Every structure is written in C-alpha cells, then in structure tokens.
Amino acid sequence: MRPKIKIAVTGLNAIDNPGPGVAVIRGLLEAKSFEATIIGLAYESLEPGIYMHELVDKTYQIPYPSAGTELLFERLEYINDQESIDVIIPNFDAELFSFIKLEAKLKALGIHTFLPTPEQFEERLKTNLPDFGKKYDIDVPKSETIYSLSDFSKISSDYDWPVVVKGKYYDAGIAYNFEQVQMYFNKISAKWGLPIIIQEFAHGTEFNVTGVGDGNGNAISIVPMRKQYITDIGKAWGGIAITDQKLIDLTKHFIKETNWRGGFELELMKNKEGKFYLLEINPRIPAWVYLAVGVGQNIPEMITNLALGKEVAPVTKFEAGKMFIRYSWDMIVDLEEFEKISTTGEL
C-alpha cells in the first residue's frame, strides 16, 4: 500500500502564461511511490487551479511575497494546523526566496521542502548570469544590469540591435531601438521593479531542459525539450522531448559544478554552429513539467521523495519524440465558490 502524503503546491494560475502548479499536481497524482492529497496555495481568487477539484483537495490563499516572510509563515502555520502538510512545492520565482528562508522553520512544523540553497538561488539570478557563466565555464550571452535609462545610454554602444530587455523575475521584450528599450524598461520595471537586465540577443533555436539535482552534484533527472509552438510572449504551447547529448552533458555539468539542489529549468539558445548559450536558470519546476512525467521522469514525485529524505535513484531514460500540446479549457464555476475563496481565503 502506498503511503498517504499531503503536499501543498503553489502556482495554480493555469492561464496563458501558466504557473507550473497544475502540471506539478498532475505528476504528484500519478506518483507510484505515494498517494498524494493536494493542498493548493493561491495568491489570487481567480487562479484556475483553485476550482479544479479533481486535482486540488482544498485551497488556501497566502499573502504575496511583498508582505514579507513573517506573514507568510503565520499563514502557513495556520494552514498546517488544519491540514498537517508533509511537503510544500513552491513554483514561483518571486516566492522562492521566502520559502528558502523559511526552510528550517517549516521543517520544525513537520513541513519538508527540497529547494536550492540561498547561495544557489542568488548566484543564478539574471543579474548575476555573466559571473555565473564565468565561474562554471558555461557560455552565456553578454548582459548588464541597469537601474535607469541613462545607464543604458552608457552601455548601448557595447551592444548590437536588437537587445533583450528583461525583468529581474519575469517578462522580457526584444527592443530594436532606444524607444523600444524605453518602453520595455518602463513597462517591466513598473511591474517587477528594478533592476532591469539588458542582454545581447542570441540568434538561434530555443531549447529548454528541466531536471532535478540531489544537492551533491548528481543528476536525478534530465529532460530536454524543444519548443515547437510559441505564444506571442515566448511561452511554449507545444514542445517535444529530445535527446541532444550536448544538452544533456551541459546540464550534467551545471548540476555537478553547482551541486544543484531541487528542480530547475535551463533556457538555452543553440546558434548556427551548434553552440549552446545559457539564457536563464529558473530555480524551480517549469510549467511544461508534465512532458517530463509523460516521457517517464516524474519530477514532482522525485522532489517530494527527496524532500522527505528518501533515496531517489537517478533516472536517465526517457521517451524522446513525445510531445506536449497545451490547451485552454473553460470551467463553469458557481459564484458561491468564488465568494468563499474571496471572503474566507479557503475553498
């Protein structure tokens, strides 16, 4: 008989730029090593996962990261009193640091996590990517951090057009002239704050890799994917699992050199010469993780077992050529449900 485990998951915003929560939950519910009960943790009352009762047993609203870790911890303490949570899998970049900081306090409550260390989280930040590339001998596009548009004027001659204008957590735009840099700078900084990152535009084909590191330099899982269908904002709406050995070796190198702990997503660009450039490291499971589950590597299950201190054997096999194709689905929701989550913060 499989043990019953209660797992809290964030990122229930299965919207056009989806959070990973729903895909993570699907993996957890298909786990062979345990039987999962899912507690949703939501920021907004319209996150679709809240209403997916076949996937989520109960949802609680939690405070935004900007409210501070103390408030988050108080809320998690309350939720834990009701639910006795075994594991939390946070899925947003912006909330991760709070959960990393709370790791020991959560453990004292009996809640386990398997997250990158604060140092790992810090050094792979977009603002630190050039140093990261140098330290670990990984090719990255040239980039610089700016706090104002006048900062950009000082460095603009070092870059060819177009340049990529990136927010520190999310959002990016490709700017072909100064006016477009200005537009993206204002738009992204208003939403995500400063600094803004200016990155050299890397031409080529985009590839992503998801996986898990055990924290001791070992790769527990690696699944590379090529985006096949990309939305207006660059998100994969369809993708295919591939076996590029160079990509797998590069990912093993990343895990080994950084002793990466937890799930991750590498975003890479392959140029015409076949050379890979690392564009970003997301220190969490990506929204397309269900492809990894579908090809034989259940990353959410692995992370849960690692969080619980269990031995997890590395898996290297997966079925290349399997694809994911995303779709949107209109749910019909009773007003009472929306009312309940909006007023009580629970559903």
- Binding residues for other proteins, rule: CB under 8 A, are 205, 225-226, 228, 239-245, 320-321
Calpha distance 193→84 (Å, rounded): 36
CB of 91 vs other proteins, minimal distance in Å: 25
Task: Give the neighbor-by-neighbor strand order of the sheet with 236-241.
Answer: 276-282, 261-270, 205-214, 219-230, 236-241, 323-325
CB of 208 vs other proteins, minimal distance in Å: 11
Q: What is the dihedral of CA 112, 115, 118, 123, to 10 degrees?
A: 180
Calpha distance 240→38 (Å, rounded): 28
Calpha distance 57→112 (Å, rounded): 19
195 upstream amide cis, omega within 30 of 0 = yes
Calpha distance 139→289 (Å, rounded): 25
Q: What is the dihedral of CA 65, 66, 67, 69, to 10 degrees?
A: 50
Question: What DSSP line would sit under 285-340, residue for residue?
Answer: --TTHHHHHHTT--HHHHHHHHHTT----------TT-EEE----PPP--HHHHHH
Exposure b/e, 152-173, CB count within 10 A at least 16 = b: beeeeeebeeebbbbbbbebbb
Q: Whose Cβ is closer to other proteins: residue 109's or residue 242's?
A: 242
Q: Whose Cβ is closer to other proteins: residue 54's or residue 273's?
A: 273
Distance of CA 137 to the CA centre of its chain: 23
Calpha distance 316→223 (Å, rounded): 9
Q: Whose Cβ is closer to other proteins: residue 3's or residue 321's?
A: 321
CB of 282 vs other proteins, minimal distance in Å: 20
CB of 226 vs other proteins, minimal distance in Å: 3
Q: Whose Cβ is closer to other proteins: residue 204's or residue 345's?
A: 204
Q: Whose Cβ is closer to other proteins: residue 66's or residue 245's?
A: 245
CB of 320 vs other proteins, minimal distance in Å: 4
Q: Whose Cβ is closer to other proteins: residue 18's or residue 239's?
A: 239
Rg of the chain over CA atoms, in angstroms? 20
Q: Whose Cβ is closer to other proteins: residue 21's or residue 239's?
A: 239
CB of 231 vs other proteins, minimal distance in Å: 18
CB of 234 vs other proteins, minimal distance in Å: 17
Burial class (CB in 10 A: 0-12, 13-18, 19+), 182: middle
CB of 205 vs other proteins, minimal distance in Å: 8
Q: Whose Cβ is closer to other proteins: residue 153's or residue 271's?
A: 271
CA distances in angstroms from 327 to 151, 229, 237, 238, 340, listed in the order given: 41, 12, 8, 9, 28
Q: Whose Cβ is closer to other proteins: residue 229's or residue 338's?
A: 229
CB of 297 vs other proteins, minimal distance in Å: 16
